[in-house]
Amino acid sequence: MAWIVKNSAEMTIERREEPYLDDQMKKELEAEVLPRFPTRQAATLPVLHAIQEKHNWLPYQALEETADFLGLKPSDVLDTATFYEEFFLQPKGRYLIQVCQSISCELRNHDALLEGISRKLGIQPGQTTTDGKFTLMTVECLGSCGTAPCALVQGRLHEDVRFEDFEKALDSLPHEDGRPDTPASERA
Amino acid sequence: MALQEPVLTQRIPTPPFGDPADRKLIRHEQYVASGGYAALRKAMEHEPKEIIETVKISELRGRGGAGFPAGLKWSFLPPQDGEPRYLAINADESEPGTFKDRLLIDFDPHLLLEGIAICMHACQLDTAYIYIRGEYHHQAKVLEQAIAEAYDNKIFGPGTIMGKVNDRDPRCFVHRGAGAYICGEETGLLESLEGKRGWPRIKPPFPAVAGAFGRPTIINNVETLAAVVPIIMRGPDWFKSMGVKRPEGAPPTAPASYGPKLYGVSGHVNRPGVYEEELGIRLGDLIENYCGGMLNGKKFKAAVPGGISMGVLGTDQYDAVLDFEVGRKYACLGLGTAGVIVMDEDTDMVAMARNIARFFSHESCGQCTPCREGSGWIYKTLCRIEQGDGTTRDLDMLLELAGSMGAMPGTTICGLADGTNWAVRTILNKFWDEFESRVAKSSSVALPVLTH
């Protein structure tokens, strides 16, 4: 959360020529999102979501571009981006696995699920596999308490999961780059 | 007492009226074919003030946790001044144990949109933002699609059946959060909507006077707005035929618990899920009649009445009546969101307390010191007790720590810390023996200086 601060004074920002927030995205956001709000700052979350959806994480350069686009100070955008758990300021794996660890899932044995995934992928929660395919995270309640235990894989909800089924679902994800091609509407 | 017909779940098959396997997304066409948007048309025949009055008479209380009378909230708005006024719909359902709004959004999004439209007309609000939690990816898409259908069918946008609202074309948008429980607190939600970190604001001013972008704003829960639709259609008297009446002799200002409610049951029951019942169902009936009894025939040990911030009901409170009075009667905080979490006899209450404390510690926004620091220390202390290194003194310290944090003791801005406070204290008080026996076995020497 926001109060876990890091020394940013000596931070170096890696830069690249090509902008993360490109002109096409800007055009779309300008037409679709910005008219919704009376202030430009209000579009911060939608803009960050859009960048993260495209690039899978939020590099500092992207935050600067967002600030520039919305007429804010980079620190304002950093302030917002660091507060929310779903914004990744470090690269994450191709597929993000979020396992719910809240009370209903604990009652329904989420431990077995988490341990199974951890063992299979050889990583602890918070880590990314060396091939960059998976990042494992534990998160608080995913709003699926009636069908616990549950986990999200790149935005797709798996309910009432046993590790054996979940393992198959993970194995079926393509290795190469490209979207998982599994629309969120098709639930496991 | 039992619900005669499904109300909010009219189009969502739910036992005992239908089979959950038959659930499917209701599109605009099917929604209209089954009587949808009739309440909005009916509302349009009335003056905005009359709609507010109807909702007031129905005594609909907010379904988001606090139970504040919705009609009263609507009446706090200042007179129109020609500038924009907003509606924020709280779909940031993040409280562990709560998954009822998701059901409505998953299958019957137009019910919510109709409620939104009625509220916009009644309160003369021109723009609605549905603030949905970031983790609800699928639900955000469902809502986007439903809103697009609503625009196409002249519910929102230019030239709608609502005409001009507050001299503007009514608009409705989905706004996705990004994983922060605190954004379910109404002013935290507004801050997040404005593109800032979700730090709750000091009140007053209340959002009805100065909310989103400094303008008058109404914030309602998804289920509250969904409940407005049948109230408009069938009248407040019908609505008040369900639920629990005010006790004899109570003043008319004392809030009662009328209407149907979605109960989301999870944990150690055979058929967990969301069930609709009148307010005031007995916990035991909910478990036995709807959820198929306790899992594996085990005995009941404890239950959370409505999202973990409400505390727990003890083993002897199996007969608790789940209405808005539950807090006063059974020594917990209240009904909350009616997300009931049932625990069986084998449940380790120390582990439960640890899980709950971790949630609040993790989700504290960090603004107020008692909550930020207190929840962390409570979590660490409970971890230590769970590992068998706790001391008797720790238990007293937990009670003291928990009791000192929250908006009710007056040490924090919002109610998140009250959740920590009540959850930890009720578990400790109601299962004191369990905690005591755990620390009695401890081998650690109680040196106060080295407590942490």
**Is B181 in Cβ contact with A140 (below 8 Å)?**
yes
Residues B207 and B278 in one domain: no
Q: Which amino acid is at B392?
A: T
CB < 8 Å to A101, chain B: 355, 358
Single out the residue of A81, A98, A110 nearest to residue A155, CA to CA. A98
Task: Decide which of B195, B213, B241 is a domain's last residue.
Answer: B241
- Residue B90's beta-bridge partner residues? B131, B221
Q: 3-state DSSP call for residue B281? A: strand
Residue B11 domain-assigned (yes or no): no
Residues A73 and A116 in one domain: no
CB < 8 Å to B181, chain A: 140-141
H/E run at residue A165? helix A163-171
A175 CB-near residues (< 8 Å, 6+ apart): A133
Residue pair B212/B129 in contact by the 8 Å Cβ criterion: yes
Q: Where are the alpha helices (DSSP H) in B251-408?
A: 283-285, 326-330, 349-363, 369-386, 392-403
Residue B5 domain-assigned (yes or no): no
pLDDT at B154 over 50: yes
The pLDDT assigned to B249 comes to 80
The pLDDT assigned to A176 comes to 57
Task: Decide which of B300, B321, B344 is a domain's last residue.
Answer: B344
Give the pLDDT band of residue A180 (cuts 50, 70, 90): very low
CB < 8 Å to A98, chain B: 135
Instruction: State the nearest Cα–Cα gap between B194 and chain A, in angstroms.
Output: 4
Task: Decide which of B344, B365, B393 is a domain's last residue.
Answer: B344
Is A102 in the B-facing interface, judged by CB distances under 8 Å?
Answer: yes
**Structure-token pair, residue B97:** 């144990």
Q: Tell me: the pLDDT tens digits for A3-34?
A: 455 666 777 888 999 999 999 999 999 999 99
**Tell me, what DSSP letter sits at residue B446?**
-
Residues B361 and B340 in one domain: no
Number of domains in chain B: 3
- How far apart CA B315 and CA B139 sit, in angstroms, is 36
Residue pair A108/A146 in contact by the 8 Å Cβ criterion: no
B76-109: b (≥16 Cβ within 10 Å) or e: ebeeeeeebbbbbbbbbbbbbbbbbbbbbbbbbb
Q: Which of A3, A43, A106 sits opposite B355 (nearest CB)?
A: A106
Residue B443 domain-assigned (yes or no): yes
Residue A109 domain-assigned (yes or no): yes
- How far apart CA A56 and CA B415 sit, in angstroms, is 34
The fraction of chain A above a pLDDT of 70, given in percent, is 88
B163-185: b (≥16 Cβ within 10 Å) or e: eebbebbbbbbbbbbbbbbbbbb
Residues A22 and A85 in one domain: yes
**Is B134 in Cβ contact with A46 (below 8 Å)?**
no
Which segment, A169-178, B134-143, B437-446, is predicted with the most confidence on average? Answer: B134-143
Is A37 in the B-facing interface, judged by CB distances under 8 Å?
Answer: yes
Which domain covers residue A50, as residue numbers?
1-89
Q: Which of A80, A143, A152 sits opposite B99 (nearest CB)?
A: A143
Residues B422 and B293 in one domain: no
Q: Which of B138, B179, B341 sits opposite A85 (nearest CB)?
A: B179
Which domain covers residue B356, as residue numbers?
349-450
**Is B94 in Cβ contact with A140 (below 8 Å)?**
yes
Single out the residue of A171, A143, A177, A137 nearest to residue A157, CA to CA. A143
Residue B159 domain-assigned (yes or no): yes
Q: Which residues 145-174 of A have a C-beta within 8 angstroms of B?
A: 145-148, 152, 155-157
**Structure-token pair, residue B272:** 């967990």
Q: Tell me: the pLDDT tens digits for B344-398?
A: 999 999 999 999 999 999 999 999 999 999 999 999 999 999 999 999 999 999 9
The pLDDT assigned to A158 comes to 95
The pLDDT assigned to A183 comes to 41
Q: Tell me: the pLDDT tens digits for B203-244?
A: 999 999 999 999 999 999 999 999 999 999 999 999 999 999
**Structure-token pair, residue B452:** 């942490």
